[in-house]
Amino acid sequence: MSTTRMLTAALLTLPLLALAGGAAAKPLSKVCGPNNKYVIGFSQANFAEPYRQHVNNDLAARVKAIPQFELQIADAAGNDNTQVSQVENFMTQGVDLLLISPFEAAPLTPVVTRVFQSGVPVIELDRRTLGSNRTAFVGGDNTKIAFEAGAYTAKILLPGGGQVAVLEGLPSSTPAIERLNGFKDGVKQNPKIEVVAEQAADWLPDKGQTVFAAMLQAHPDIQVVYASNDLMAAGAYLAAKGAGKEKQVKIIGTDGLPGPSGGIASVASGQWAATFIYPTGAAEALDLAKKILLDCAEAVPTVVTVPTEAVTLDNAKDLNAKLKF
Partner 1 sequence: MTPSDNTEAATPGGVPAQAERPRRDILAVVVRFQSLIGLALVLAGGIAFSPVRRGTLLFLAPDNVANIIRAVSETGIIALGMTFVIITGGIDLSVGALLGLSSVLTATLLVNGGWGVLPTLAAVLAAGTLFGMAQGVISTRFRLEAFIVTLAGLQIARGLALVISHNQYINISYGEGAGLAPQAFAVLGTRLFGNVVPVATLVFLALAVIATVLLNTTRFGRYVFAVGGNERASRLSGIPVGQVRIAVYGLTGFMSAAAGIVHAGQFSFGSPNDGAGYELTAIAAVVIGGTSLFGGAGTMVGTIAGSIMLGALANILQLNNISAALQLLATGAIIVLAAVLQAIVGRRDGSGR
Edge to edge, what strands does the sheet with 69-75 contain? 69-75, 38-44, 97-100, 122-125, 136-140, 303-306
Q: Measured between alpha carbons, how far is residue 312 from residues 88, 157, 180, 205, 269 in Å?
A: 43, 11, 21, 21, 10
Report if residue 119 touches partner 1, rule: CB under 8 A.
no
- Of positions 74, 164, 286, 316, contacts partner 1 by CB under 8 A: 74
Q: Compose the 266-285 pattern: x for residues touching partner 1 by CB under 8 A, - for all others.
A: --------------------
Report if residue 124 touches partner 1, rule: CB under 8 A.
no
- Of positions 33, 88, 242, 270, contacts partner 1 by CB under 8 A: 88
Please state, in angstroms and rounded to a whole number, the distance separating the CA atoms of residues 167 and 244: 19
Report if residue 68 touches partner 1, rule: CB under 8 A.
no
- Of positions 75, 141, 178, 284, contacts partner 1 by CB under 8 A: 75
Rounded to a whole number of angstroms, the minimum distance from the CB of residue 134 to partner 1 is: 17
Q: What is the phi/psi pair of residue 172, to 5°?
A: -80, -10
Report if residue 31 touches partner 1, rule: CB under 8 A.
no
Please state, in angstroms and rounded to a whole number, the distance separating the CA atoms of residues 161 and 154: 7
Rounded to a whole number of angstroms, the minimum distance from the CB of residue 137 to partner 1 is: 18
Report if residue 53 touches partner 1, rule: CB under 8 A.
no
Q: Do the beta carbons of residue 257 and residue 34 sit within 8 Å?
A: no
* Smaller CB separation from partner 1, 35 or 172: 172
Please state, in angstroms and rounded to a whole number, the distance separating the CA atoms of residues 100 and 9: 20
Number of residues counted as binding partner 1 (CB under 8 A): 26
* Smaller CB separation from partner 1, 46 or 248: 46
Q: Compose the 172-211 pattern: x for residues touching partner 1 by CB under 8 A, - for all others.
A: x---------------------------------------
Q: What is the DSSP string of 169-223?
A: --TTSHHHHHHHHHHHHHHTTSTTEEEEEEEE-TT-HHHHHHHHHHHHHH-TTEE
Report if residue 80 touches partner 1, rule: CB under 8 A.
yes
Which residues contact partner 1 by CB under 8 A?
A: 47, 72, 74-75, 77, 80-82, 84-86, 88-89, 92-94, 104-110, 130, 171-172
